[in-house]
Amino acid sequence: MIGPIETVLGQILSMNLKELASKLGLSPTTVSRALNGYPEVNESTRERVVAAAKRYNYSPNTRAIRLATGRAMAVGHVIPIATRHEIVNPVFADFIAGAGETYSRNGYDMLLSVVSDDDEEGAYRDLKSRGAIDGIIVHGPNQNDPRIPLLRDIGLPFVVHGRSTGTTLPYSWLDVNNRRAFQRATEFLLDLGHTRIALINGLEFMDFAIRRRTGYVDALAARKLAADPALMFSDEMTEVAGYQAARAMLALPHPPTAFLVSSMISGMGVRRAIESLNLHMGREVSVIIHDDELSYLRNGAEVPIFTATRSSVREAGRLTAEMLLDLIANPGEGPKERLLEADLIIGQSTGPAPRKN
Amino acid sequence: MIGPIETVLGQILSMNLKELASKLGLSPTTVSRALNGYPEVNESTRERVVAAAKRYNYSPNTRAIRLATGRAMAVGHVIPIATRHEIVNPVFADFIAGAGETYSRNGYDMLLSVVSDDDEEGAYRDLKSRGAIDGIIVHGPNQNDPRIPLLRDIGLPFVVHGRSTGTTLPYSWLDVNNRRAFQRATEFLLDLGHTRIALINGLEFMDFAIRRRTGYVDALAARKLAADPALMFSDEMTEVAGYQAARAMLALPHPPTAFLVSSMISGMGVRRAIESLNLHMGREVSVIIHDDELSYLRNGAEVPIFTATRSSVREAGRLTAEMLLDLIANPGEGPKERLLEADLIIGQSTGPAPRKN
DNA sequence: AATCAGTTTCAAACCGCTTTGGACAAGTCA
DNA sequence: TGACTTGTCCAAAGCGGTTTGAAACTGATT
């Protein structure tokens, strides 16, 4: 009889190594080696084994491999749920899609842990001591992030997506040059003649938000302009928050003529605020956003709607995952760092500053 | 010496069962039983064991448990990446956050597989035959979804988030009553005097989109109104698609006075189209959206911006995961079904139909 | 013919837990 | 008193692979 065994229920029982070996008249050792590409097995034997494995639909039991090798062949991602505001970062989906591609390609599984943020440390320790994963990716680092020394202490290989200002320990990270991106964007607005430029930022304990603000402030300072606290806003990056902040600023006696906005979603709120006052984006008010190239929130079809600093978070996921697998495979090597530059792409949301009247 | 052993590298080596047992002068059998709550162990012994386990920071090796018990203690989620349009469904993040809470609470891991959609079948077979998971959740079912018979055939417990019109096999699912939700929304618009109601739907090979259209068509038919094909649009649910569809419809000789929109994101595009024509949502044009209560896309702060059919996808994640764990624990029981009703919440985006002039 | 190296194969130990089938002591019943 | 429970514990056999150390065979060398 050929092919996998069918039970009464129609379920396919995959056979195990011992069965396959006896079917071939070989020892499990040889079969295992043949399938795993070890040199000490005759080529013709290997071919027989490989053919039989395919014919009988054999695939080795992951649980057994993991126990035998001591490796989990899995990478963890911890999603902290803020107990206060319960927000799932919308860039997660795309980052994870990118990372997942890398894992699939390399035979790794991706383990997601959803954890309330006051229990994150416990989650890391648990994943490590249970031996559930070989490494982990750290999301959304804050200033002086405690997770970095923690992971170093418990000896779990990790790569940070982003960086942590204030951390002096060396660690592996991949980040977008957020400071440079917002510096360039600010310069671009200044070149267009804007001087009242508002910053609608994310939460400024997050590292990326700190760096973006620095870029913005630096660019202003280079032109001898001081950042106006009334034009700097920091909050959760939601549509509503963007709308409210922009409304409030546009109602100031001396309103901004341009907005630098930390995300596409906040940007849509800013746009709504502008249009609700019968103003026009790219005419009376200019807007630049940061575009993570989220797959479900494209910045326009062919023509970009927003002028934007752009960097694909999906690609970041792919690359960060590659760095981690590399780190796992070569534990001896030191930390790796990688800085991606964002593109500045010009859309329809920016134009010359309106003349004073 | 008290506490876990520290190596030169400062890594914490967690001890294993055998070591703990010998430290206690007991057999591994007894220690295992004491920790797992079996009755055949003296209470005082159990206390000693539990205390020692805590003191030495013992946590059993997941890999070994899995091999020994034959259970993976893990649930799979397959994220298909459409090779054509490469879109990650934005509701994934929140659904998974909800499901993840359930898994954590029950000691299960969540395994995410990112797979190109032409290879999804292979991914399921692989997960099953490797023994990597005990069950799986099916996302985004289409009409006559082939995954349902497939999973039944390979004998992998599963619950579908959504349903599959045309599938006659019984299977477990959890769904929102999409038909009823859109029927009620349409009735609400009809009651406000609207007769030209447009439908901006998702891709209509997706089951939820089919059901929503049915609800919409039924409600119109109940008032002896025929659905106008010119007012029915189906595409990816992006902001840009919503904008373009609404722009086009509003330019018709006999434009709609109301829009029924399948998602918050498309709804933002529709709103932009309306405002770009100097019309006002809730005045000249009414809009109802479906609100999945995505954490990063709240429908307004206190006051909802959009009138909406509302159903929390995060809660759906929690409940679907519970159903699956139940199914895994009680394989004998038949398929379970659960239909959630969406709320109709009234926001500022709907109002009476404008008088004809 | 004996020795040796190289190739190919295998038996058995091992990974760290669970679980089966006793063993042993103490208490109960006839 | 002997037979039977009951309570408590343990040795050993698993789960399904990988990996070590040795055996068997081949052909070449002395």
pLDDT in tens, A55-94: 998 999 999 999 999 999 999 999 888 766 667 788 888 9
Domain boundaries, chain A: 4-69, 74-176+314-340, 178-312
Contact predicate A315/A344, CB 8 Å: no
Domain A178-312 has CATH 3.40.50.2300: yes
Whole-number Å distance, CA A25 to C1' D25? 18
Whole-number Å distance, CA A65 to C1' D24? 29
Confidence check: pLDDT of A2 > 60: no
Q: What percent of chain A has pLDDT over 70?
A: 94
pTM over 0.75: yes
Question: Considering CB atoms only, which of A62, A81, A153 is closest to B130?
Answer: A62
Going by pLDDT thresholds of 50, 70 and 90, the confidence category of residue B303 is confident
C1' of nucleotide C16: residue with nearest CA: B64
Residue A287 CB partners (closer than 8 Å, separation 6+) = A258, A259, A261, A267, A270, A271, A274, A281, A306, A307, A349, A350
Record the tokens describing residue B128, joined without a space: 């099953």
Going by pLDDT thresholds of 50, 70 and 90, the confidence category of residue B308 is very high
Closest chain A residue to B100 measured between Cα atoms? A114
> Distance between CA B6 and CA B26 in Å, rounded?
24
- Partners of A104 on chain B (C-beta within 8 Å) are 113-115
A17 touches strand D (CB under 7 A): yes
Q: What is the mean pLDDT of chain B?
A: 92
What integer is the mean pLDDT of A219-226?
97
What integer is the mean pLDDT of B315-330?
97
Cα of B56 to nearest chain A Cα, Å: 12
Q: What is the mean pLDDT of chain A?
A: 92
Whole-number Å distance, CA B269 to C1' D11? 71
Q: What is the pLDDT of residues A15-44, one digit of tens each?
A: 899 999 999 999 999 999 999 999 989 999
Whole-number Å distance, CA A18 to C1' D20? 19
pLDDT at B291: 97
Cα of B296 to nearest chain A Cα, Å: 6
pLDDT at B116: 85
Which CATH code, of 3.40.50.11540, 1.10.1200.10, 3.40.50.150, 1.10.260.40, is assigned to B4-69? Answer: 1.10.260.40
Q: What is the pLDDT of residues A243-287, one digit of tens each?
A: 999 999 999 999 999 999 999 999 999 999 998 898 999 999 999
> Distance between CA A354 and CA A189 in Å, rounded?
12
Going by pLDDT thresholds of 50, 70 and 90, the confidence category of residue A153 is very high
SS3 A31: helix
> Choosing among A116, A134, A295, A318, which should be mutated to test the B contact, i.e. which has the most B CBs within 10 A?
A295
Q: What's the residue count for chain B? A: 357
Confidence check: pLDDT of B7 > 50: no
> Distance between CA B165 and CA B210 in Å, rounded?
9
Burial annotation A148-175 (CB, 10 A radius, 16+ → b, else e) = bebbbebebbbbbbbbbeebeeebbbbb
C1' of nucleotide D12: residue with nearest CA: B29
Confidence check: pLDDT of A106 > 80: yes
pLDDT at A7: 41
Burial annotation A106-117 (CB, 10 A radius, 16+ → b, else e) = eebbbbbbbbee
Going by pLDDT thresholds of 50, 70 and 90, the confidence category of residue B79 is confident
Question: Strand C nucleotides below 7 A of a protein CB?
Answer: 7-12, 14-22
**Owner of token pair 């003191």:** B55
A339 touches strand D (CB under 7 A): no
Question: Considering CB atoms only, which of B114, B240, B305 is closest to A97?
Answer: B114
Decide if A10 and B153 are in contact by the 8 Å CB cutoff: yes
User: How distant, in Å, are the alpha carbons of A87, A92, A107 from that of A98?
Assistant: 21, 10, 15
pLDDT at B36: 95
**CB-to-strand C contacts below 7 angstroms:** A 25-30, 33, 40-43, 45, 67-68, 70; B 16-18, 28-29, 32-33, 35-36, 40, 60-61, 63-65, 67-69
Confidence check: pLDDT of B196 > 60: yes
With CA of B30 and C1' of each nucleotide, the nearest comes out as: D9
> Distance between CA A299 and CA A291 in Å, rounded?
7
Query: Which region among A160-164, A170-174, B122-126, B250-254 has the lowest average model confidence (pLDDT)?
Result: B122-126
Confidence check: pLDDT of B95 > 80: yes
Question: Strand D nucleotides below 7 A of a protein CB?
Answer: 7-12, 14-21
Confidence check: pLDDT of A9 > 60: no
Q: What percent of chain B has pLDDT over 70?
A: 94
B45 touches strand D (CB under 7 A): yes
Cα of B77 to nearest chain A Cα, Å: 10
Q: What is the pLDDT of residues B213-255, one digit of tens each?
A: 999 999 999 999 999 999 999 999 988 899 999 999 999 999 9
* Superfamily grouping for domain B74-176+314-340: Response regulator (3.40.50.2300)
Decide if B113 and A110 are in contact by the 8 Å CB cutoff: yes
Q: What is the pLDDT of residues B137-177, one digit of tens each?
A: 999 999 999 999 999 999 999 999 999 999 999 999 999 99
**Same topology between domain B4-69 and domain B74-176+314-340:** no
C1' of nucleotide D14: residue with nearest CA: B68
pLDDT at B357: 55
CA dihedral B63, B69, B73, B77 (to 10 degrees): 90
Confidence check: pLDDT of A51 > 50: yes
Query: Which region among B57-71, B87-101, B183-197 has the lowest average model confidence (pLDDT)?
Result: B87-101
Decide if B62 and A153 are in contact by the 8 Å CB cutoff: no
pLDDT at B300: 78
